[in-house]
Amino acid sequence: MTRKPQQRSIATKARVLDAARDLSKKHGLEQVTAEAVAQEASVAKGTVFSHFGDMDGLLSHVLLDRLKALSAQKNEQEPDREISDPVGLLMQRIMALITVITDSPTILRLFLDNIGVTKPNCAAEFVETLDTLDADLVTFLKLWQQTATMEPKLRTDRTPEEMTDGLIAFMIHGAILLKSHQITDLASLEGRLRRHVEAFLLQS
């Protein structure tokens, strides 16, 4: 029995996206071209564009996969570490996001495009995914504020939502510093951001 046209279209789109994912893992995102994706997916080059508009549209989905994976990793790797090292855990989260969005110049540009920094509209799927990541941070900061045994003490004169806004600004600024080569390695960036985070979040 032949599949309906819509089912075939969905399957083809999935195959194109899988091809882009595989190529980005093997060769890096900068080497993922429409020609390479079309060959990997066994489709015409025009099929790639018909499903995703352009390469930015396709590669944005690859970036979205990586952002979604951050939440999954957080849930797998964080049993009770909030109690013992809240600052270290927070820095892990910050640096994980920075590592994803600075993987290549294209990834950083697409991230800024899709959150509305460099383009007027935010992509709905990105908003949903980033809202999830933001909510995770808010939940973590609430726990930190409310748990008397967690050291060092988190400030209480700002809401977790306000503090999350500040942390997001630190992350984006850090990513830009890294990709503009004002800071040349992740370890130096992490040390600098940690000082900012501690000054911003901790009780004086």
CA distances from 139 to 134, 143, 163 (A): 9, 6, 11
Do 79 and 43 sit in the same domain of this protein?
A: no
171 close to 94: Cβ distance less than 8 angstroms: yes
| 34 vs 49: CA distance, rounded Å | 8
**pLDDT of amino acid 82:** 43
Residue 74: pLDDT band with limits 50, 70, 90: low
Which structural domain, as residue segments, surrounds residue 1? 1-53
> DSSP state, 29?
G
pLDDT of amino acid 22: 93
Tell me the longest C-alpha to C-alpha distance in the chain: 70
Using the predicted structure, report yes or no on whether residue 133 has a pLDDT greater than 70: yes
Domain count, the chain: 2
DSSP state at residue 85: -
Residue 201 CB-density burial (10 A; 0-12 exposed, 13-18 middle, 19+ buried): buried
Q: How many Cβ atoms sit within 10 Å of the Cβ of residue 86?
A: 22
The confidence score (pLDDT) of residue 5 equals 58
Give the C-alpha separation, 28 to 80, whole Å: 35
Whether 78 and 128 map to the same domain: the answer is: yes
Query: What mean pLDDT comes out for the span 134-158?
Result: 93
CA distance 57 to 33: 12
Say yes or no: 138 and 38 in one domain. Answer: no
Contact in structure between 3 and 11 (CB atoms under 8 Å): yes
- Domain containing residue 166: CATH number: 1.10.357
Q: Considering only 71-85, 96-110, 183-197, which range has the smallest mean pLDDT?
A: 71-85
Interval 84-112 mean pLDDT:
91
The answer on 124 and 39 residing in a single domain is no
> Of 77, 170, 57, 55, which Cα lies nearest the Cα of 123?
57
Same-domain pairing of 147 and 113: yes
Please indicate, yes or no, whether residues 6 and 92 belong to a single structural domain of this protein.
Answer: no
pLDDT at 190: 96
- Residue 149 above 60 pLDDT? yes
Calculate Rg over the CA atoms of the chain. Answer: 20
CATH number, domain with residue 38: 1.10.10.60
Q: What is residue 160's predicted lDDT score, i.e. its pLDDT?
A: 97
pTM of the model: 0.83
